[in-house]
A and B are shown apart, each in its own frame.
Chain A
Amino acid sequence: MTDPLIRQKHRIGGATWATFVLAALLLWSLVAIEFAPSRMIQVPGQVARVLSFFYPADMAYGWSAVLPAIVESIQIAWVGTLIAALLSLPLALFGARTLFPRIARLVKLISATARAFPEILLAIYFVPIVGLGPFAGALAIGISSVGMLTKLGSEVVESIDFGPVEAVEASGGSRILALRYAVVPQVLPEIVAHWLFRFELNIRASAVLGVVGAGGVGGVLLNTLRYRHFEKAAAVLLLTILVVLVIDMISGEIRRRIIRS
């Protein structure tokens, strides 16, 4: 007689199957892009070689050319976030299933479609329309952020306490008055926190828009790497990392305070 605690079931569980499937997918993908083991061994050496060219960073170039480009990226992100915030605030209210069940479905569909677009693809369209430069970038960022801000905003609206809304309507207020006095005061802090979070994301997004000529620091990095000016590229990376870290820290701190109060 065997002890039931010792007897083990030899059964292939879901996790094992998942591992097999994932391993097969990985193998197929590696073969498909011709990432052979011989190539893999070369990678660390190649990366180390290029990294060694990065030192020392050309900070003179950094202060004179890179910093203005980073400032431009920040400006693009700010204007883009502002456009998105203004557009998404009414959409977030109308997208709340609890307040407007019928319109909400349409708004959610629009926001899902807008979210699927990478900013850079929108920028490809805006660059020929408004010309090369940061304005096209700001529009692209703005339009592409609307989707996410609408989604997050309407989720905030759906989670509110309905007491105040009913109170306004019970005392004879209209739907619009209920929005103004019962909904907006409840949701605004969290929505502003989402705006700030999106601003952090948009700084990264606007940093890459330069690749298609829509202003910002991405174009500088692309050019320095293309012409193998690695010391200048190092300055771009260094300053970008520093600025983004600082802005993340400030914005994160403000968000924490808004949510807490």
Chain B
Amino acid sequence: MTPVVPPKPPINYGLWGGALAFVALMTVWSAQGIGFSISELWCNLSSGSRLLQESWPPDFAFLPRLIDPFIETLNIAIIGTIVGGILAVPVAVLAARNLTTGPLVWFADRNFMNILRTLPDLFWAMLFATAVGFGPVAGALALSMFTIAVISKLWSESLEAIDMAMPEAVRAVGGTWLQMVQFGALPQGLQHYVSYALYAFELNVRASMVLGLVGAGGIGMILETQRANFEYERVTLIILVVLVAVLIIEQISSSIRRRLA
């Protein structure tokens, strides 16, 4: 008796072939476009090792001069998260299909949100640095915009999944739209909101470290000047400080988030 083998599902050769061909073409085209070459990488490794030797050991004597910019960095991240977090609430509520006031508002807000999301954090920083001048204020404004984009996108999706019985109950007893949102919807979304706000804070801490590269304040400004002067021992020190700080803040924040979940 031969064992009964279930038939293999048919393979869609057209789809797989097309996808593979697309990936292959895209890869070849991209690799050529950016001048990707393993041999060049190999040749350059010697200069790379020289750079690594220069950047080690880190210049710990530089540490005291990092304290003030580091605190400024945290200040930027805090302002960005709180201001952006508050502004994200109306954006998220109006972008949730079940809570919004009308299809037109929903459509406009949704597109506004998506456009906000396309621009990376440093683009905002460059724009605000141009508008309000170099310094931490530009960084705080940039991170506020970035935070609105992050929180409103995530939160509007979890608001769409809430239990609509409560908001409808508020409406049924004569509550206004604002009361419906305040008492029916937001309490259900609060946990998610806090978790997303903490997540945005993690992103902001990481982003605020590099804002200074475009003149928007914080520890990145020191990084930029040391890099321009090829003081790589100091660059290493700054990067180590950033790394340790980001890891610590992430640990704290993610342990709070886990407890909320």
Contacts and interface: CB of A to CB of B under 8 A. Distances in A.
Interface of A: 22, 25-26, 28-30, 32-35, 39, 42-43, 46-47, 49-51, 71-72, 74-76, 78-79, 82, 112-113, 116-118, 120-121, 124-125, 128-131, 133-135, 137-139, 204-205, 207-208, 211-212, 215, 218, 221-222, 225, 228, 237, 240-241, 244-245, 248
B243 A133 contact: no
A49 B130 CA distance: 11
A76 B36 CA distance: 10
Interface in B22-48: 26-27, 29-31, 33-37, 40-41, 44-45, 47-48
B245 to A, nearest CB: 9
A124 B130 CA distance: 23
Contact of A47 (B41, B132, B135): B132
B214 A134 contact: no
Interface stretch (B89-97, B100-108, B117-125, B164-172): B117-125
Given A129-B51, A138-B36, 5 more contacts: A72-B34, A116-B246, A129-B44, A207-B120, A245-B115
Contacts of A26: 78-79, 82-83
**Which range contains the number of B residues in contact with the other chain?**
35 or more
Nearest to A32: B75
A30 B75 CA distance: 7
B213 to A, nearest CB: 5
A128 B47 contact: yes
A208 B132 contact: no
30 contacts: A25-B82, A29-B74, A33-B75, A33-B136, A33-B137, A33-B140, A34-B137, A35-B137, A43-B137, A47-B131, A49-B131, A50-B127, A50-B131, A75-B29, A75-B34, A124-B223, A130-B41, A130-B48, A134-B35, A135-B35, A135-B37, A138-B36, A204-B119, A207-B123, A208-B121, A211-B122, A221-B123, A225-B130, A241-B118, A244-B118
Contacts of A34: 136-137
Residues of A contacting B: mostly: helix
Contacts of B45: 129
Contacts of A218: 122-123
Given A75-B29, A113-B243, A25 B34 contact: no
A195 B233 CA distance: 35
A28 B131 contact: no
Given A46-B131, A116-B250, A78 B122 contact: no
B20 interface: no
B120 A211 contact: no
B210 interface: yes
Interface in B195-217: 206-207, 209-210, 213-214, 217
A199 B29 CA distance: 16
B126 interface: yes
B235 interface: yes
Nearest to A241: B118
B71 interface: yes
Interface string B124-161: 00111111100111001100000000000000000000
Contacts of B37: 135
Contact of A121 (B72, B75, B239): B239
B114 interface: yes
B34 A113 contact: no
B247 interface: yes
Contacts of B83: 26
Given A25-B82, A75-B34, A248-B118, A240 B123 contact: yes
A11 B48 CA distance: 62
A208 B120 contact: yes
B99 interface: no
Contacts of A46: 131-132
The 5 closest A-B pairs by CB, nearest first: A134-B34, A129-B48, A75-B30, A29-B75, A33-B136
B162 to A, nearest CB: 19
A116 B247 contact: yes
B243 A117 contact: yes
B227 interface: yes
